Structure 1
């Protein structure tokens, strides 16, 4: 009898495809195979055995000589797809790493690399040693441990020592270290390579295709012990994964918001549970959800209170800017001048790219906006262009207003990092400055210049707050501490505190005591006070109480629906239809009967559903914060799920939307556990 298997193909659809297997061919679940698909040939993964035989099936053409993926990766991929409502085929692309292509099968040859023992050997201080011992005691099974340490307390040394211990005791053990930004990857790689063998690889979008293929093969064959990567590294076909570390676990960059929407930090915890291995979450400013789980006793908590090597925490000064029209206050200017004179370094933090945030005509008041989005264009002086930071629309700055044709009437408002750089150079001539932001193509090169002390003043956006270690940096200036509070984000206060705390933590990490000068329009803010008094835990207590009162995460769960379309009326109508459909299918808790055979209450008011109105709250629809983006109108619906443990909403959501019979011009994006709300 001909065997039939179901194959997962790297296509954006939510189904498997059945193929027949030749009698003399040995095929197992997890094997990579070449199959015919229409007029194409594709590489797929044998996902499960099938009993389908109702029609004539095509045969698998070829089995590829690669290690099969582990069964637990199949379980993990299915869980991620179901939880985040992702077509399962899109995860095949991530598992294959974009390197498995039919025309490149002959290049899928991995040179066997001699296994070397990693020799990470940090001298841990007593506090670090206690943390190390606690974590190592949980290395044999699933556990979640928060490695909670002040900025500069040596968290990295602790988790690298744990990695070394694991490699030493478990043959061929692999450790995954997830980082929120590519720019941090090369720094950590260099740091580890200074202490250990070269038996580690990087995994992120910045790799060349050849390096990517070689790294994927080395990981799949178990040749590499330490894998340092960005979000997608979570789905690689490891041979013997034994530990996961999520560094800067609070960072919102772990949430992928385009294409496959998922939170790598959350999914890493699920992977650890499925694999029955430990996971370490490392941060100086953990997520509120993590703090909640610590208080609930679900996670282990390991704390480092002191900075490494006896370094002191920086002194934090707050400057009231309400009556100050300068970008750089007198206090900050004096601090910069003194620091540069002492041949030390200054970091100025402003979370705004470009030169000016808005271009306005003085004659008619016209503001230059993006033609594709409902946002103002940002002026970038270096490019001499107006840019949209959402769709990359670009416009050359004209000498006259396009609305009233007024000559030389355009004025620049607001400050970005380019303008701040200009201001710093005016105040302190002959100083060596550098900008670090996501606009820069050579961030690694600039960081090297900073480490070589060839830069006096570093000016940057939030990318400079993430894990950087600059020995000569002793002054940090925060230009507009209130900036990230000026939106309707559920997590605005939490994100602002985390960002300011992390930025402040770059100062004085070595011998010299550091200083942080925070410029704010709201010096009485609870966030600013908690930062200045270094009372992180009291801030978390207040924020948790606020979330509990509002019945928001971590006490409930959220699922966002973003409805988009080119016609505003049709898009709004579709959003209303979705809400109406979901509401009509929710069960009335008072209308049900007891089924003694199933030993459950059965709802009378709906068929096959067990979701009650009291379990789910529907907010919206309402226009999105940016209601016109990439030439499409946007409406948002927020589902608040009061029963956090229930995954029933995900199971029903696709059916709910499908029942609306939406126009093909309308797209619905589902964002489970949203991080941003724009």
Structure 2
């Protein structure tokens, strides 16, 4: 008999075996309907094998579905990703099927000619309509534009029975990009980078590259030229470009459309489900050449993936920490290796992991050392707040205020950067010291003055700001502590009432359309001062922006996070790099209480190599990534005693292993989220230790009750 192992899109840790009927031909990647309990479920065939029998009666595959099979490389990737992250393969399979499970687009209404019928009155307009239509079927508005007539002419032909309305489900397809449409003029470094990437795709096989270029050096132009050469050599090739945030997709889509004369496909949470299904079907059928998307686009069913580009590869947004826990950059490299494709990791501030691979020659290292054209890197000044502090209850020092005024007089733009949303990060009671927190969560409530509400950015809880302290009952005792972008904007409007001021954060631009509109206003010079979080700190090109003021350069350096220094250096480099990207020189002023901090000194000197060398030495001394590996187990549950017991059981069941340590269990920094108590255990291992094997053996020793959730985070980026 034949047996099929089927991945069911549920959080189950193994494929289920089913008997294959004799008349049914199945192969790896086929989609099937199989019984699971009382339900019929969709599944993906992971394996088909011959067997002489089974010691248990197997259920039978109901039918092979007509939906397209997943390409073998996609199934390989789903299984590998599940093993690497210790996630249920069924959940990974569900991610790969997400587009197919979306509703189909509505049928499209089109017009076609009825036989050889002719109009009773063949006017010039009617004749033009029939000539434009020919034997095809077209949507009414498209036909009217093509014939140069009004909709009334079309309606008259329908009323006469010369044209009829039909409903069709058009094949998912995207216009083919033209590699020769509008080639860019590249400098020597850009041309060398494009040559190397294109040569690697032409040669075939897996090859990783780091595209390392200073802000404004033209990395996008370089990799788009490599895309063009890849498509010129193989028109059937497919290219995936990953971006960390939705807000960045619109600018890149516009640039791709201008370069190739055709828009790419778009894949992220902001795309409507019917459109996501259209993209999924076009990708699996090979009718889509370029996809621009978020990290989940890695799971699309590419049959001919030749090039993967991870733009802003250092960005922490590539790490998914809810649901399936994985790092998009690392899985992109794995997907390229499985597919035998080229992968390009592009950044002005590469992660230490990527730099370590480039230094060890595991990745090709392509460097763009200067800005494109006449633009120069901005001058960076550290402004010591101990010498010139802001006035009480204000946040901008006098030198920064003067710089803003000078910039306004020159008709140029200012970006004030503070990576903190809302009006104030803490609201507390002057009478008793109580801090407002989210119910059933340790997270502080952030005041949002625009809406008059307190918001938990972790859980989404929101409430009106109360007049009475919920702890002591004192009236009008709650005060706002610290600045957010709304509070900085309030100060800017008081200082510069004539300036056109706006805020750019995920609160003020909640979707891609709003982000696109604000970016367009900034690009066209309709905003004088932009107060922004990291939403504006990367990937954007504002020609009139010449001054960046960092309100609190010390913000990211606080706390004991392993990557605090690296992240702060990257974020501030990206933020200050927005200045002077055109023909006007730029400058950046960083307000700090600790100008002697090594991160800030490296920024001011433009000494990235010195910073990286020092940070690498610290990591190597502690055998931390990239010189070692980390994994975390996060336990959570409503019953605190049950969580404590599982934590104790895990601590008692740690397998013996060399070159590996386990720390904890300890309370998580946020010990309570949505009513669930949380504990953490952290594993540190040398690079050559089988960390996943250790974790599997460890978890197999402990029976975890259903009331406690254990989340495995391989290579954690957040330690909340």
Structure 1 position 626, deviation (Å): 1.3
Q: Which runs of 5+ in 2 are unaligned?
A: 108-167
State which drifts further: 125-134 or 466-475.
125-134
Distance 2:322 2:373 in 1: 42
Deviations 1:367-419 (A, max 9, x none): 22222211321111111111111112222111222222222222111000010
In the other structure, the counterpart of 2:647 is 575
Distance 2:12 2:50 in 1: 22
Choose from 358, 371, 374 the match for 2:426.
358
In the other structure, the counterpart of 1:541 is 613
1:619 aligns with 2:681: no
Distance 1:103 1:531 in 2: 50
- Verify the 8 A CA contact 1:247 1:282 in the aligned structure 2: yes
Q: 1:113 to 1:450 in 2, by over 3 A?
A: closer
In the other structure, the counterpart of 1:19 is 18
Distance 1:535 1:298 in 2: 24
RMSD: 2.0
Distance 2:210 2:375 in 1: 23
- Verify the 8 A CA contact 1:43 1:101 in the aligned structure 2: no
Q: 1:26 to 1:197 in 2, by over 3 A?
A: farther
Structure 1 position 655, deviation (Å): 4.1
1:371 aligns with 2:370: no
Structure 1 position 345, deviation (Å): 1.3
State which drifts further: 98-107 or 17-26.
98-107
1:434 aligns with 2:434: no
Distance 2:24 2:174 in 1: 30
Structure 1 position 576, deviation (Å): 2.4
Distance 1:388 1:670 in 2: 25
Q: Which runs of 5+ in 1 are unaligned?
A: 587-611
Paired residues for 1:185-204 under 5 Å: 185-198=249-262, 200-204=264-268
In the other structure, the counterpart of 1:672 is 714
In the other structure, the counterpart of 2:586 is 514
Structure 2 SS opposite 1:77: helix
Deviations 1:495-534 (A, max 9, x none): 0000000001010100000010100111001111110110
Deviations 1:336-380 (A, max 9, x none): 112122222111110111101111222222222222211321111
- Verify the 8 A CA contact 2:647 2:679 in the aligned structure 1: yes
Paired residues for 1:213-232 under 5 Å: 213-232=277-296
Q: Which has the larger radius of gyration?
A: 2
Q: 1:455 to 1:255 in 2, by over 3 A?
A: same
TM-score by length of 1: 0.92
Paired residues for 1:34-73 under 5 Å: 34-51=33-50, 53-54=53-54, 55-73=56-74
1:264 aligns with 2:328: yes
Choose from 165, 171, 178 the match for 1:117.
178
Deviations 1:80-117 (A, max 9, x none): 10110010001111111243379999999734566453
- Verify the 8 A CA contact 1:18 1:50 in the aligned structure 2: no
In the other structure, the counterpart of 1:129 is 191
Structure 1 position 127, deviation (Å): 2.2
In the other structure, the counterpart of 2:4 is 5
Structure 2 SS opposite 1:309: coil
Q: 1:503 to 1:113 in 2, by over 3 A?
A: closer
Choose from 632, 639, 642 the match for 2:683.
639
In the other structure, the counterpart of 2:153 is none
Paired residues for 1:218-617 under 5 Å: 218-322=282-386, 324-325=389-390, 326-439=394-507, 440-441=509-510, 442-582=514-654, 585-586=655-656, 612=657, 614-617=658-661
Q: 1:656 to 1:188 in 2, by over 3 A?
A: same
Structure 1 position 9, deviation (Å): 1.6
Distance 1:676 1:120 in 2: 42
Structure 1 SS opposite 2:296: helix
- Verify the 8 A CA contact 2:103 2:274 in the aligned structure 1: no
Distance 2:463 2:563 in 1: 33
State which drifts further: 43-52 or 89-98.
43-52
Structure 2 SS opposite 1:211: helix
State which drifts further: 211-220 or 432-441.
432-441
Distance 2:200 2:701 in 1: 48
Q: 1:405 to 1:115 in 2, by over 3 A?
A: closer
TM-score by length of 2: 0.86
Q: 1:486 to 1:510 in 2, by over 3 A?
A: same
